[in-house]
Amino acid sequence: MTSSESDVFSLPNEANAHDHDYHQLVIVLDGNTDFDIQGKGKELHSGEGCILPSANSHAFAGLGENRIMVVNLPIPPQKSITDEEYEIVSRIFDQAAYFELSPRLQILASALSGELQQYPDDPILARACGNTLLSAIRHQVNSKDVRTRGNQLDIDKLDQFIELNLSRKVHIDQLANFCFLSVSQFHERFKDRTGMTPHQYLMRKRLERAQTLLQEGFPPIQVAEMCGFSSQSAMTNIFSQTLGITPLRYQKQFSVR
């Protein structure tokens, strides 16, 4: 891969370390990975990524099955990007950083990665996908909204993120990072805003989706998986404790109507 293109691949489980003379953007599409930039380590989950300025040493390793997308920005810019465009886009690489994509950008990254995997030998497409993602992400990373969003929780955007990830395990630190808050700040402000803890809110979202899917006739074992419960029995326990009825009995109420 030349230094002006984007690519999608998996990281090996063996740790590796290097640096390079070009900026690099890394996004985790699936699974989990470990990254360490200049001694600052973080486990990155799906929808998270990091900004790697040129010559910043970094180490990385996959944690089981994973899939990442990388975008390399050359220095100086090659013909795929003008000097003016480079000046604008390169500002996001002023310093190394970890970040979490908004739900909209997660969808964009997933779509672009799909195109790259469909046509892996098309350098024009690779450059176009890379430039598109860099241009979109710079608005999230550089905007004043990013720096100030933590002052007030945007529940609507948070709901979008939760809905997008409800079928998998959602970590509270992921929600805090999404709102650019520490876990303790997020927990306090979230409870002040909603009257419940983030864990209680997530559980309510899972139950609401489970109710909808059960009404639509999906089998309970499949509903548990689609709603991010660890097992069908775990869903049954929480369902019964909260609603006073088992998922199967709840579903039968709608099947006889």
Domain boundaries, the chain: 6-142, 150-255
10 burial via Cβ count (<10 Å: 0-12, 13-18, 19+): middle
Domains 6-142 and 150-255 share a fold: no
Q: Angle at the Cα of 198 (from 162 to 171), degrees rounded to 5?
A: 60
The model's pLDDT over 5-63, given as tens digits with 9 standing for 90+, comes to: 667 777 777 778 777 788 888 999 888 898 888 778 888 888 888 888 887 888 888 88
Q: How many CA atoms lie within 13 A of 19 on its CB side?
A: 9
Q: Whole-prediction pTM value?
A: 0.54
What's the mean pLDDT in 63-83? 74
Query: Residue 195: what are its φ and ψ, rounded to 5°?
Result: 80, 5
Per the prediction, the chain carries an average pLDDT of 82
Cα end-to-end distance, the chain, whole Å = 59
Domain 150-255, CATH class in plain words: mainly alpha
pLDDT confidence bin for 1, thresholds 50/70/90? very low
Inform me whether the pLDDT recorded for 3 exceeds 50: no
Inform me whether the pLDDT recorded for 81 exceeds 80: no
Task: Choose which CATH entry (2.60.40.3500, 3.40.50.12780, 2.60.120.280, 3.40.50.620) describes domain 6-142.
Answer: 2.60.120.280
In whole angstroms, how far apart are CA 185 and each of 48, 100, 164, 182, 188?
20, 17, 23, 5, 5
Separation between Cα atoms, residue 132 and residue 130, nearest integer Å: 5
Residues 6+ apart with CB under 8 A from 83: 77
Cβ proximity of 136 and 111 under 8 Å: no
Tokens read off for 125: 């497409």
Q: 65, 12, 13, 47: which is closest to 169 by C-alpha?
A: 47
The model's pLDDT over 188-240, given as tens digits with 9 standing for 90+, comes to: 889 888 899 999 999 999 999 999 999 999 999 999 999 999 899 999 999 99
